[in-house]
C-alpha cells in the first residue's frame, strides 16, 4: 500500500527537483534517502540489504534498536519479519510437493479437519497459497494487536490447533465466493498451511522450517521462538508509531505459535542475505539445493489477478504463491511482499531476471514506508526516475503543495485546505454564511487537479479546480464563484 505524507514530498522536491535520479555515487544517494526518510517519518531503526547480479551489493543498519537502553541497530540485530514469514511457509510447501508428500491440487480436507468451503467447491492447497480461496480473513491477529494496544480487551479462545479449527470451522459465513474468483489477502489460511506441514511431516512447524530451510541457509540465529530472541540479546524492540503526534511507544511481541507461518519469523538482515541469494540463484545456496528452479518459477507465476487499483497493488499486480507480481517494473518482472505489523515491518522485493533484490526491516509499523523506500532504491540502481517507480509521488507532491490557507481578493472570503492520506477537505469562510462550509474534494482528474464536491443530491456537484504556477509554485483555486489564492 502506498503511503502519502509530508516528509516524502518535501524531500523529493528539493533533492530530485525535476523528478530525475542523480546517477553518481549510488551509495551516497541511497544513504541520503534512508536518513532523510528515517528523520521525516520518525523511524526508530532500519536494516537493509541490496543484491545486484545475484551478489551482495550493500548491507547496512541505521538508528536505534532499543530506545530505553539507547542501543544501535546492527546488521546482526534480530527483527520480526512479519508477512515475509509467509514466503518461508511457501518454500516449505513446495519442498513437500517436490518430495511428493502432497500435491498442490490436493483438497485441504484430505489432511485436516477443514470445513469452511462451499458444496462442490473444495479448497485446495493451491488456493491457500495464492489467496484465491474465496474466504475472507478471520482477523484473529487484529484482535491480538488491539489487545496489545489496550484498545480492545476482547480475546479469541485459540491456543492450539484444535481450538483454531473449532473456531475456523464455524466461520462459513466468511465465504465470499467460490475459489479462484477473487483475490482475498488471508493471514488465517497460512496458519492452515502451517498445520498442514505439521500433519504431513510430524514436525512442529518451527522445527521443520529450521531443519529444512534456515539451517541449510546457515541462518543459525533466525528463529520463531521469542525466548531464543531474548537469550540472543541482539534484538530490536518493536515500536508503534502514532501518526497524530509522531510519538513512538514500545509494545512487546507475543510468541503465538498459531501465527508463526503468517508473521512469526525473527531474523537479522545479515541472515536474510542468504535467503535472497538462494532465491536469486534458482534455489541454490552454498552449492546445495534448497528448492528447485521449477518450484521458484511456480511460486512467481501469476495465479490470480488483483482488482484494478487495489490497495495491495496500485500498479495492478497479480499474486503468485505468497508473493505479489508486477510484470512491468521498468520493463522487468518484480516480485515483492510487504509485512506491516503492529510494531515491526518489512519489505522484500526481487527482480529475478536481473538478479537484483532488496530487503528492508524496520522496528515500527512502517511497511508502506519500507515499500516506497525500496522502490526508490531500485530506481536508483536501474538509473530510472523515481516518479516511474512510484507514480503516486508526483500526485502526492502536487497535493501537498495545495495544502494551506487561502483568501479571495482583499481576503473577504477565506479558506483552508487540509490533505490527509490523499483526501482533501476545503473549508470556506464566507461572511455571508452562518458558519464555515466544508467541501470534500473528490478527484475527477488528478493530473489536471480537477475535483468535485457532491451536494447531497444526485448529479449535483460543485466543481473545484486548482492552478499551480510552475514559475513560482503559487497556487489558486476556483470553487464555483470563488477564486482564492494561497497565502
Task: Give tens-digit pLDDT for 51-110.
Answer: 999 999 999 999 999 999 999 999 999 999 999 999 999 999 999 999 999 999 999 999
Cell numbers 514466503 correspond to what residue?
A: 87
Consecutive H or E run containing 52 = strand 45-52
Parse the chain into domains and list their residue ranges: 44-365, 403-486
Is 312 a residue whose pLDDT tops 90? no
Query: What pLDDT was estimated at residue 22?
Result: 40
Nearest to 357 by CA among 95, 12, 84, 2: 84
Record the cell numbers describing residue 27, joined without a space: 551509495
Characterize the bridge pairing of strands 345-351 and 332-340: antiparallel
Give the CATH class of 44-365: alpha beta
On whether the 403-486 domain is CATH 2.40.128.210, my answer is yes
Top-ranked range on mean pLDDT: pick from 37-46, 151-160, 261-270, 461-470: 261-270
User: What are 192-251's pLDDT values in tens digits?
Assistant: 999 999 999 999 999 999 999 999 999 999 999 999 999 999 999 999 877 666 678 888
Runs of H (alpha helix) within 149-186? 161-168
Among positive and negative, which fits the CA dihedral 2, 369, 86, 217?
Answer: positive
User: What are 164-208's pLDDT values in tens digits?
Assistant: 999 899 989 999 999 999 999 999 999 999 999 999 999 999 999
Predicted model pTM: 0.85
Is 149 a residue whose pLDDT tops 60? no
Consecutive H or E run containing 288 = strand 288-289
Percentage of residues in the chain with pLDDT exceeding 70? 88
Top-ranked range on mean pLDDT: pick from 12-16, 35-39, 70-74: 70-74
Is 129 a residue whose pLDDT tops 50? yes
First to last CA, the chain: 33
Nearest to 36 by CA among 382, 456, 373, 276: 373
pLDDT band at 25; cut points 50, 70, 90 = low
Q: What is the average per-residue pLDDT within 112-137?
A: 95
Query: What pLDDT was estimated at residue 155?
Result: 61
Q: What is the average per-residue pLDDT within 140-145?
A: 61
* pLDDT, greater one: 163 or 77: 77
377 vs 340: CA distance, rounded Å: 19
Is 458 a residue whose pLDDT tops 80? no
Q: What is the average per-residue pLDDT within 16-38?
A: 68
Lowest mean pLDDT across 197-211, 288-302, 363-377, 391-405 = 391-405
Query: What pLDDT was estimated at residue 470?
Result: 85
75 vs 71: CA distance, rounded Å: 13
* pLDDT, greater one: 338 or 308: 338
Is 436 a residue whose pLDDT tops 70? yes
Mean pLDDT of the chain: 88
Is 306 a residue whose pLDDT tops 60? yes
445 vs 356: CA distance, rounded Å: 35
Amino acid at each position: 500500500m502506498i503511503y502519502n505524507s509530508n516528509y516524502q514530498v518535501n524531500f523529493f522536491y528539493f533533492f530530485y527537483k525535476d523528478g530525475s535520479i542523480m546517477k553518481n555515487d549510488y551509495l551516497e544517494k541511497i544513504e541520503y534517502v534512508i536518513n532523510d526518510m528515517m528523520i521525516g517519518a520518525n523511524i526508530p531503526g532500519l536494516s537493509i540489504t541490496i543484491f545486484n547480479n545475484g551478489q551482495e551489493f550493500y548491507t547496512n543498519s541505521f538508528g536505534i534498536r532499543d530506545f530505553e537502553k539507547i542501543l544501535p541497530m546492527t546488521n546482526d540485530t534480530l527483527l520480526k519479519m512479519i508477512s515475509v514469514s509467509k514466503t518461508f511457509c511457501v518454500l516449505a510447501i513446495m519442498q513437500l510437493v517436490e518430495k511428493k508428500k502432497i500435491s498442490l491440487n490436493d483438497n485441504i480436507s484430505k489432511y485436516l479437519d477443514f470445513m469452511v468451503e462451499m458444496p462442490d467447491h473444495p479448497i485446495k492447497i493451491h488456493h491457500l497459497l495464492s489467496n484465491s480461496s474465496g474466504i475472507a480473513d478471520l482477523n484473529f491477529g487484529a484482535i491480538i494487536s488491539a489487545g496489545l494496544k489496550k484498545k480492545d480487551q476482547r480475546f479469541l479462545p485459540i491456543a492450539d490447533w484444535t481450538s483454531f479449527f473449532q473456531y475456523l470451522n464455524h466461520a462459513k459465513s466468511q465465504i465470499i465466493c467460490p475459489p479462484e474468483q477473487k483475490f482475498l489477502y488471508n493471514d488465517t489460511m497460512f496458519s492452515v498451511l502451517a498445520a498442514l506441514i505439521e500433519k504431513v511431516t510430524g514436525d512442529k512447524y518451527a522445527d521443520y522450517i529450521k531443519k529444512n530451510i534456515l539451517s541449510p541457509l546457515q541462518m543459525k540465529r533466525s528463529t520463531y521462538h521469542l525466548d531464543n530472541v531474548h537469550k540472543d540479546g541482539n534484538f530490536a524492540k518493536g515500536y508503534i508509531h502514532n501518526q497524530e503526534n509522531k510519538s513512538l511507544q514500545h509494545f512487546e511481541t507475543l510468541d503465538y505459535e498459531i501465527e508463526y507461518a503468517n508473521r512469526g519469523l525473527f531474523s537479522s538482515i545479515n541472515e536474510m542475505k542468504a535467503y535472497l541469494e538462494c532465491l536469486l540463484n534458482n534455489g541454490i545456496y552454498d552449492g546445495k539445493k534448497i528448492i528447485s528452479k521449477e518450484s521458484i518459477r511456480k511460486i512467481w507465476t501469476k495465479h490470480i489477478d488483483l482488482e484494478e487499483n487495489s490497495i495491495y497493488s496500485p500498479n495492478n499486480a497479480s499474486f503468485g504463491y505468497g508473493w505479489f507480481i508486477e510484470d512491468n517494473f521498468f520493463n522487468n518482472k518484480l516480485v515483492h511482499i510487504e509485512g506491516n505489523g503492529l510494531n515491526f515491518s518489512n519489505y522484500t522485493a526481487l527482480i529475478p531476471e536481473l538478479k537484483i533484490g532488496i530487503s528492508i526491516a524496520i522496528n515500527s509499523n512502517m511497511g508502506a514506508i519500507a515499500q516506497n523506500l525500496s522502490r526508490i532504491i531500485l530506481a536508483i540502481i536501474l538509473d530510472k526516475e523515481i516518479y516511474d517507480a512510484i507514480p503516486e509521488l508526483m500526485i502526492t507532491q502536487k497535493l501537498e503543495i495545495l495544502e494551506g490557507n487561502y483568501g479571495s481578493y482583499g481576503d473577504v472570503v477565506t479558506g483552508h485546505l487540509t490533505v490527509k492520506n490523499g483526501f482533501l477537505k476545503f473549508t470556506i469562510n464566507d461572511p455571508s454564511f452562518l458558519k464555515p462550509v466544508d467541501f470534500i474534494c473528490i478527484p475527477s482528474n488528478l493530473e489536471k487537479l480537477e475535483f468535485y464536491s457532491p451536494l447531497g443530491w444526485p448529479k449535483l456537484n460543485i466543481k473545484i479546480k486548482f492552478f499551480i504556477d510552475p514559475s513560482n509554485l503559487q497556487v489558486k483555486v476556483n470553487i464555483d464563484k470563488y477564486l482564492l489564492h494561497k497565502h
